[in-house]
Amino acid sequence: MLRRRSSSSSAKSSTKRRSSSAGFDEFGFAFIKRREKKLHHRSHDYSFPQPNALKVKELCELLSYWNGSSFICRNQIERFIRIGIPTAVRGRVWKCLLDLDNVRVASDFSYQVCLTEIRKGLVDLGVSEYSIISAITTLIDKENDLGSGAGQTPDAHSSAFSTVDVALFRQIALDLQRSFPTHRSLMGDSPEAIEGQAKLFRVLTAYAKFNPQIGYCQGMSYIAAVFLMLLGEEEAFWALVVLLEKPKYLSELFDSSLKKIQHQALVFQQLLKHRKPQLFQHLEKLGVSSFHFVMQWFLTLFTSLPCWDSVLAIWDLFLLHGLLAVFRAGLTILHLLEPRLMSMTEETTVLPLLLRVPVDVSQYSVLIPALWSTEVQEWEINCMNSVILEEMTESHETEKTKEDSSSSVSSDEQKEKSPAVENPAEDRPCKKEPVGPGGKNLFARILKLAQRYLADSAKQNTSNKAQPASPARSSPVVACQSKKRTSVSFTQAQRRRSQSRRPQNEAVVRKEPLPPQCTDGGTAENRSQVPLRRLKSGPVGRVARRRSGVQSGRGKSLLLRSSNQSQKASIPTSPVSQDPNQACTEPRESPGKSSIHPPLEEGSVFSPRTGTEVRESQLI
């Protein structure tokens, strides 16, 4: 099964594949002797399709008049990504998607100047990126000297390097030979590999200098190495910068606290709970937290998957859609593994499967079609995100109340203190009374969040315009809000649901013109304008109704959620006064209905049907 070639189109390309240089496959990974195959499982019989010459020509044409802010261009490119980007053109596609040329021109940072600085430091230390092994030894010795020597500060002052630099160089050097150790550009000590490792070293150190607050974090070497496989050295550097700085991609994920990745893992957990309730419950029963495997997906962007053609296809989608694609790919993998996972009864068997996804699931012909049929919407992620933030605030407030019940602290103040909320800019612009320290009607909450999300985007814009947020502080939510819908956004399931229950939903969506959005690769300014336009295109209430209508299909898992929460005890079960909170965010068209609706009791079990009905009734 592993050796299966999926389609005739891949057979067509097999001659080409064999002709690639002896010892390495077409992606540059070494063929490993059968006996050792399991050890370095990089090279496989790939199953990705080869688009025909006409399509390739069309794609090249598209790239020649590429405009990253054009909705049409981005829509077109998605079509090509779906067909499969030919390996030879991928570098160009990525450059376009990341808008590298413009980023480079707009920045006043010079890669070459930075390298000169770095090289000065290296010379002072007596090491070179071209002899990594001896560099590691020297750096470690130097670090020992600096660490043990009493006069470390004068020493650091007098030379062009500091202890921080030594530690940085050392850590990067240590990872060079371990990142894709079977790729021709990094493997062994051939001239090509020595050059490849030197490039990787330079790109990573230059990034660490570009953003000293982030510096170097394990995981980055994989990302930079992927770029170096497809782009020139300086392009790879800028690609890394875009990826690690833009909120759409991985900004803040690698920062020294690693809080955001933990937050993203929670969001993923919520998504799983929501989309795959049975699997979620099963994993929870076995004590498997999605945190264990999700972190790797986010920090190394699926480069640990054994089939490289699939990795690149996920990256194509990731570079187009950003973080959303990570959620999507993660969910797809879980979906494909679900039958196996459901039959497992121990954490010991579940975790290795998830941490080392097998070939039969990760091969292109299986994973990528499944990826395209798995939809994850931004608003879903935004809602999950808000649920997490709210839970954190609530639990934080509870702690607070315990500590000091007499003083009444405003929720905003507390939010800022909460370490997990990394983003005060995202704090609800719709200022509200403190959230009561109790479990709340979950439906009302989700509904409210969906509505708040819409309200937020309007307010966010105004605030953004008045005072543009620094990129480091803008949240993924903010970035996502403005993100366009590049395809017809209902999943099959959602469509079925909306057709059967609320036929008018679809009509509403269709009638609404999709705003000519352009934001993904764009700057913060044009990003901020988009939601405004969207709001102009239809009254908030209507959009809210449409969105909540879609959400109603999720009633089941949300109900499960409410019943789970009482067990987790993360939310206390004391009675709540919740109505006043909601008043300000209630939609116009449902005058207070959901707030009038009695709160669902925590811990009580509802049938999914009832749940849906309740929600339907709230919405009409």
Partner 1 sequence: MEAIWLYQFRLIVIGDSTVGKSCLIRRFTEGRFAQVSDPTVGVDFFSRLVEIEPGKRIKLQIWDTAGQERFRSITRAYYRNSVGGLLLFDITNRRSFQNVHEWLEEARSHVQPHSIVFLLVGHKCDLDAQRQVSQQEAEKLAAAYGMRYVETSARDAINVERAFTELTRDIFELVKRGDITIQEGWEGVKSGFVPNVVHSSEEVTKSDRRCLC
Contact between 184 and 197 under an 8 Å Cβ cutoff? The reply is: no
**567 makes contact with partner 1 (CB under 8 A):** no
Contact window for partner 1 (CB under 8 A) among 60-68, 288-296, 436-444, 503-511: 288-296
At 37, which helix (H) or strand (E)? none
Closer of 183 and 445 to partner 1 (Cβ): 183
Restricting to residues 22-51, which ones interact with partner 1 according to CB under 8 A?
A: 39-40
Q: Is 192 in the site for partner 1 (CB under 8 A)?
A: no
- Our CB check for partner 1 shows the closer of 331 and 354 to be 354
> Please, are residues 96 and 64 in contact by the beta-carbon 8 Å criterion?
no
Task: List the Cα angle 463/382/77 in 5-degree steps.
Answer: 95
Q: Which stretch binds partner 1 (CB under 8 A): 15-23, 45-53, 295-303, 512-520?
A: 295-303
Q: From CA 132, how far away is CA 116, in angstroms rounded?
A: 18
* Cβ-based nearer residue to partner 1, 171 or 565: 171
Nearest distance from C-beta of residue 142 to partner 1, angstroms: 10
Mask: binding to partner 1, 572-611, rule CB under 8 A, as x and -?
----------------------------------------
CB atoms within 10 A of CB 385: 24
Structure token digits, residue 490: 């209902």
| Total number of residues that touch partner 1 (CB under 8 A) | 41
Q: Which of 126, 149, 212, 352 binds partner 1 (CB under 8 A)?
A: 352
**141/433 with CB nearer partner 1:** 141
Half-sphere exposure of 206 (CA within 13 A, CB side): 26
Report in angstroms how near the CB of residue 136 gets to partner 1 at its nearest.
8
- Decide if 230 contacts 311 (C-beta within 8 A): no
147 binds partner 1 (CB under 8 A): yes
Is the CB of residue 430 less than 8 Å from the CB of residue 456?
yes
Q: Which of 558, 553, 619, 557 has the alpha carbon at shortest distance from 590?
A: 619
Give the nearest distance from C-beta 507 to partner 1 in angstroms: 46
- The minimum distance between CB 178 and partner 1, in angstroms, equals 5
Closer by beta carbon to partner 1, 14 or else 345 = 345
The smaller minimum CB distance to partner 1, of residues 177 and 528, is found at 177
Q: If DSSP states are collapsed to H, E and C, what string results for 285-354?
A: HHCCCCHHHHHHHHHHCCCCCCCHHHHHHHHHHHHHHCHHHHHHHHHHHHHHHHHHHHHCCCHHHHHHHH
Contact with partner 1 (CB under 8 A) among 37, 292, 495, 593: 292
Footprint of partner 1 on 154-173 (CB under 8 A): 171
CA–CA dist 10, 245 (Å, integer): 37
Task: Using CB under 8 A, pick the residue from 128, 162, 304, 564 that binds partner 1.
Answer: 304
Query: DSSP letters of 139-201?
Result: HHHHHHHHHH-TTHHHHHHHSS--HHHHHHHHHHHHHHTTSSTTBTTTSTTSHHHHHHHHHHH
Q: Tell me whether residue 142 or residue 484 sits nearer to partner 1 (CB atom).
A: 142
For the segment 328-347, give every residue that binds partner 1 (CB under 8 A).
345-347
60 vs 174 by CB, closer to partner 1: 174
Residues 6+ apart with CB under 8 A from 581: 432, 433, 435, 436, 448
CA–CA dist 585, 386 (Å, integer)? 14
Q: Which of 10, 47, 138, 177 binds partner 1 (CB under 8 A)?
A: 177
- Rule CB under 8 A: choose which of 28, 86, 91, 219 binds partner 1: 219
Binding of partner 1 by 217 (CB under 8 A): yes
Token digits of residue 153: 């500060």
Binding residue (CB under 8 A) for partner 1 from 58, 78, 143, 579: 143
Q: How far is the CB of 299 from partner 1 (least distance, A)?
A: 5
Cα 207–213–218 angle (5° rounding)?
Answer: 60
| Binders of partner 1 in range 113-142 (CB under 8 A) | 140
Q: Considering only residues 242 through 281, tell me which ones interact with partner 1, judged by CB under 8 A.
A: 254, 256-259, 261-262
Which part of the chain contacts partner 1 (CB under 8 A), choosing from 79-87, 105-113, 178-186, 311-319? 178-186
Nearest residue to 56 via CA among 91, 73, 80: 80
3-state secondary structure of 29: strand
**Contact with partner 1 (CB under 8 A) among 159, 349, 504, 574:** 349
Q: Which DSSP category does 30 fall into?
A: B
Q: Which is nearer to partner 1, 100 or 299 (CB)?
A: 299
Contacts with 227 (C-beta within 8 Å, 6 or more apart), sequence order: 94, 203, 235, 236, 239, 240
Tell me the three state secondary structure of residue 24: strand
Interacting residues toward partner 1 by CB under 8 A = 39-40, 140, 143-144, 147-148, 171, 174-175, 177-179, 181, 217-219, 221-222, 254, 256-259, 261-262, 287, 292, 295-296, 299-300, 304, 345-349, 351-352, 355
